[in-house]
Every structure is written in C-alpha cells, then in structure tokens.
Structure 1
Amino acid sequence: MKFQLRQLEAFRAVAETGNVTKAAKSLGVSQPAVSRLLSDFGKSIGFELFERRQGVLVPTSESRYLLAEVRRVLDGLDHLEDLRRDLTERTGGHIRIACLPGFAISHLPRVLVAFLEDRPGVTVTLEPDRPERILEWIIGEQYDCGITDAFAGHPATESSDILIRSACILPPGHPLQAKPVITPLDLAGEKMIHTRRDSRFFHRLSRAFSNYGVEINSWIEVRQFTAACMMVAEGAGASVVSALDAEQFADRGLVIRPFEPAIHHRLTILRPATGSRTPIVLDFIDAFTRSLAPFLAEPGAEATGD
C-alpha cells in the first residue's frame, strides 16, 4: 500500500482544522484538491476517515490511531528538511575535533567561539590528547578532524601541514628584552625550558645553538609549548617556542622576540581518508587555517615536527 505525502498532509490538516476549506487554505491548494486527496487516501486505507458532528469534521475512532502515526511521520520529514537546510546552509551539524592539549586551552577556543557565532545549530565535541591518541581516533573515524604535530603519515588519513614560525620568550623585565632579535649567542648561559629531547623541534634548536658555538643550558624539559610559556611568564628561564603559543601569553607580560636562525614548528590537520566529509567540517578547517595566518612561517621554510 502506497500513500502520497500530500494525502498525509491533507489528512492531518483536516483533522486539525475540522474543515476542508481551512485545511485547503493552510496547505495552499484548492478545496476540491483537498477533497480529492482525502477521498483517495480513504480508499487506500479502507475505512472512513471523518464523521461530521455539528458541522465539524471529526476523526473516526479508527483514524484517530492513524492520525498519531501520520503526525509522527510528517514531523520526521519536517526534521529531515530542517537538517537538510542546516547542512546546505552550513548552520547545523556536529563537529568532532581532537587536538593537542595546548590548543584546547589557548588558541582554539577563540576560533570556535567566532566560528559558532553565526551557526547556532552547530554543536562541537572537543577532545584534547597526545598525538598518538589523536592519530588512533582519526584512523578509527571517531573524530572528524585532528590538530596535531609529529605526524609521519598514515594511509588511513588525509593531512595538510602548516608551518608556524618560532619566537624567543623571556620573563617580564629580562635584560634581553631591549634586543629586537634573539640569537643563540644571546641565550648562552640562560636557563632554557625546551621541548622533549626526542622532538624534531629540539633537534633543530640544538643544531642552531651548535652552529653558533653555544650549548643549550638545559633546565626544564616539557612536552607542550604551553607549559614552557606558563613557566617563563612566571619568571623561570627562557625558551624558544611556537609564535602562536607565545602570543597566547602576551597579556601576562611575556617578552616575545623573533628568534634567529629561523626554526619552524609543523602543525598537521588530519582527517579520515574515508567517511563523512560534511561541509561544516570543511568550513571549520578553513576557519582554523585562516586564524593561523599571523603566525605562518615564510614560504619555502623547512618543516620540523615538535
């Protein structure tokens, strides 16, 4: 047995208005058209849909049960149309984002707030974790995109790299704050807070110091740039970090200066190689990428991982 959508709409409209004329007006069709839809629907069903009581069309006892299901079906179709419109107009949907812990408490929240401002129907899950875990989630299609580093490639993912320039950070009032650019020679003897020794970023930093004939005065080893920024802002040591992370602490009086030679931090945006590619996810990735523009390394810069 097949029913036309318009028949269901006519049945609901008459049941709610009690009048064919009012139902036709609400549906934007003629009265004969509604009468014909009801007649065809009644023949398909096999019982009377309405009885007249004091000039009002009232659903029969059988059609009252049918009316509840018809309303559920039409409400479901209305929901699908709303969802289609949200996805088409990019105002609805859900985004699952995995990111490095530092991003979850610094740059990313501001990007998300701005992104969601004009998208009231969009919801977000934001989950911070280490790079290894982020890769597992993306491979398993548990998240729509991942913001990570130290990524060496995987066939189950699609990735794009973004190079972020580095900066030297110093505590407020540090004697070196008068210098416009900081080099390894300037940092000779300074207690250094740096990324873990097995990271590519540390290897590049160590090589830069060696090329200047200086050894890094290693003091505190951290996994995330955010931790280094917090300690330097509290007056402990100096560091060379991503300029993006450094900027998040500028309001704490952190002294931020360009570092030479240039050392770059590689961020990677991951997506599952297969699975959903909703427009809203792509829009978020574009918005996040644009937000990094002030911190990008010069074109042609050599990539390093952190």
Structure 2
Amino acid sequence: MATPKLKERHLEIFRIVMATQSLTAAARHLGVSQPSLSVAIKRLEDQLGVALFARISGRMVPTEEARLILAEVERVHQQSEMLSDVVYSIARGQATTFRFGATPSIGMRLLPKAVRQLQLKGTAGTYYCDSLPQRDVRDYLLFGQGSCVATIATVEDPLIDTVKIGEANLVCVVPAGHALASLSSVTPGDIMGDTLISFTPATTHGLHIDETFRRWGVVRETSVFVHFVEAALSFVAEGIGITILDAFSAMDCTSSGLVAIPIENSVTVSAYVHSCLLRPRPLAADKLIAELRAIAADAGMR
C-alpha cells in the first residue's frame, strides 16, 4: 500500500509547535483554536505511526524522531523558498542572459546609457552586447544569435519586427577650439573648405549626409573616409578634421573635447530596435526599448 502524502498544512503546524513547544502559543501564531491544533498534531502522529511530542509540565517536548523530522522539514522548506526566489528571478529577467546587438551609431552613447538603467533595475543577470555592422543585422536576428538589435538603419524583411525609438538630426562635430564651435547651427556651405572626415555614399550615414547636402545644392567633398563613427570621432579629437554624424552618435561628445553643432535643414535620422517575429521578444528587450526612448526624449530627440 502506498504511503499517504503528508499535507503541507500539517507540516506547517508541526514546525510552529516545534518552535514554540506550546499548543497555546502555536494556536495564537496560526490563528486557530487550541483544540483543533491538538487534533491536527494527533492526526499527523497517527499518520506517521510515531509520537512527536511528550507533554511534560504543560509543555510539548519534542521526541528524538520529531527533531530528526524537523531537520528534514527545514531543509525542504529552505529549498522551497530558494525555488520560489529563483522562479521570480527568472520571471523578472534577473537570472537570465540578455544578449543583443547594436550598430556603432547607437552603441556609442545612447545604448550604454540605457543598459546602465537596466543594470540598476536588475533587468537581467548577465548582459552580452554584440557590435554589428549593418549587413549582419538580419542574419543575427533570424538565426537567434541575439534578442534584438538597435540601429539607425531599417531592415527590409517580413520576418523582422521594427520598433522606432526616436529621431534626431545631423550634427557637425568639431574640436572645441574650432572656428565653427561657437555657432548655434551650420550649413553644408559653412563646412566647405574644412577637412571632412566622413563615410562612403553607400553607407547609412553617407546616404543621410548626401541627401542633406543636396538640399543645399552642395556636393560633399570627403578628405578622410572611415567605416565607423568611433573612428570619425577619434580623428576629430586628434585635430585631423571635422565630421558629420547623427545626433545619437554625438551624444556627450563634449567629454572628449568636441562640440556638436546642429546642421540646418538636415534629414531626420531615425533609431530603431529590430527583433525577429519567429520567436517571442523577451521582457528585457521591451525594457531596453523603453529606456532608449526615455533617454532619447530627455536628450531632446524626438
């Protein structure tokens, strides 16, 4: 015959009586009557086939068997509490690894600020950020290498979901001591004659810059070509020339001794978070989107 399972309520009563060694105190703690508590203990003893307490001088004195049972009950109780904590931690994302990607324009300034907020709020246990060229974004998502990618470029694929997080204009980044640094805004014509550090026409930045120059009837003349915004900013910091970037990339550039000046009548650059429709977007990705939007809004970006 199968051994009947112990009821959780009986074990709870047993723990409290063991702790108080008094039916009166245990009944008060559990919010029940003393007679009903006495019946519950008797049922547990009958089920186990062993005496758990001896009544000596009005107190419930545990037997040796009761002490051994309590040790096991406490061990399982602690494991149960740990399991509960782990389950809640997973549900909140705190026990998971949040892997995501970003292209350099978003990854330079905007993304680190958002990740810092996620870290402070305990959104994930571990963060894994991949720096990606735009050409790798689609495969990165479709093959499940990461949960999402933040970038300023669109991804044309029916299996990719896109969420817009903000908009910004182009800015001209110059050294703090440059002649243009004191201006509130500049035009492409103001930039002509300076050594321009920029991108090829086929890149996302190159397309945005060329479209802005066309609005002014000016042809872009690049002296130094680079592939990534980090290189453009580093070259400007070394006094090699000036550059044109989206305002996302130029956030906080004053800390590097640079000044970002808005370009009049520039195109609007949108920032996005892409994810794959083939799998659910994790809660951490939704929280990242919210933080990115909040930081972009605080920085005056639409």
Instruction: Return the TM-score normalized by structure 2.
Output: 0.76
Q: Is the 8 A contact 1:6 1:37 kept in 2?
A: no
Partner of 1:200: 204
Q: Decide which moves more: 79-88 or 120-129.
A: 79-88
**1:50 maps onto 2:52 in alignment:** yes
- Structure number, greater radius of gyration: 2
The match for 2:10 is: 7
Q: Which residue of 1 aligns with 2:38?
A: 35
Structure 1 residue 272, shift from structure 2 partner: 4.6
Cα distance in 1 for residues equivalent to 2:285 and 2:244? 32
Deviation of residue 169 (structure 1)?
A: 0.8
Q: What amino acid is aligned across from residue 189 of structure 2 in structure 1?
A: L
Over 3 Å counting, the alpha-carbon distance change for 1:166 and 1:215 in structure 2 is closer
Further displaced range: 67-76 or 282-291: 67-76
**Residue of structure 1 in register with 2:109 after alignment:** 106
What amino acid does structure 1 have at the position aligned with 2:202? D
* Structure 1 unaligned regions, length at least 5: 298-306
Amino acid at match of 1:107: L
Aligned to 2:224: 219
- Determine the structure 2 residue equivalent to 1:266: 270
2:167 corresponds in structure 1 to 163
Equivalent residues of 2:23, 2:60 under 8 A apart: no
The 2-side partners of 1:275 and 1:141 are apart by: 11
Mean Cα displacement is larger for which, 252-261 or 190-199?
190-199
Report the CA distance between 1:242 and its aligned residue: 1.7
Using the TM superposition, name which of 166-175 and 154-163 deviates more: 154-163
The alpha-carbon distance between structure 1 residues 84 and 52, as it changes in their structure 2 partners (threshold 3 A), is: same
Q: Give 1:168 deviation, angstroms.
A: 1.0
Decide which of 170, 177, 181 is 1:173's aligned counterpart.
Answer: 177
1:70 maps to which residue?
Answer: 73
Aligned partners of 1:202, 1:82: CA distance in 2, in Å? 50
Match 1:129 to one of 109, 128, 131: 131
Kept after mapping to 2: 8 A contact 1:190/1:237: yes
RMSD across aligned positions (CA): 3.7
Query: Contact 2:174 / 2:258 at 8 angstroms: preserved in 1?
Result: yes
Q: Structure 1 pair 124/239, CA: closer, same or farther in 2 (3 Å)?
A: same
- Separation in 1, partners of 2:8, 2:22: 19
Structure 1 contact 96–145 (Cα < 8 Å) conserved: no
- Aligned equivalents of 1:175, 1:276: Cα separation in 2: 47
Report the TM-score when normalising by structure 1: 0.75
Task: Indicate whether 1:246 and 2:250 are aligned.
Answer: yes
> Does the Cα contact within 8 Å between 1:192 and 1:219 map onto a contact in 2?
yes
Deviation at 1:202, TM superposition (A): 0.6
Q: 1:81 to 1:262 in 2, by over 3 A?
A: same
What letter matches 2:280 in structure 1? Answer: G
The 1:138/1:68 distance shift into structure 2, 3 A limit, reads farther
Q: Which runs of 5+ in 2 are unaligned?
A: none
Partners of 2:238 and 2:98 lie apart in 1 by: 34
Pairs aligned (count)? 291
Secondary structure, aligned partner of 1:229: helix
Report whether the alignment pairs 1:96 with 2:104.
Answer: no
Paired amino acid for 2:184: P
CA distance in 1, matches of 2:43, 2:281: 41
Any conservation in 2 of the 1:141–1:275 contact (CA below 8 Å)?
Answer: no
Q: Secondary structure at the match of 2:191?
A: coil
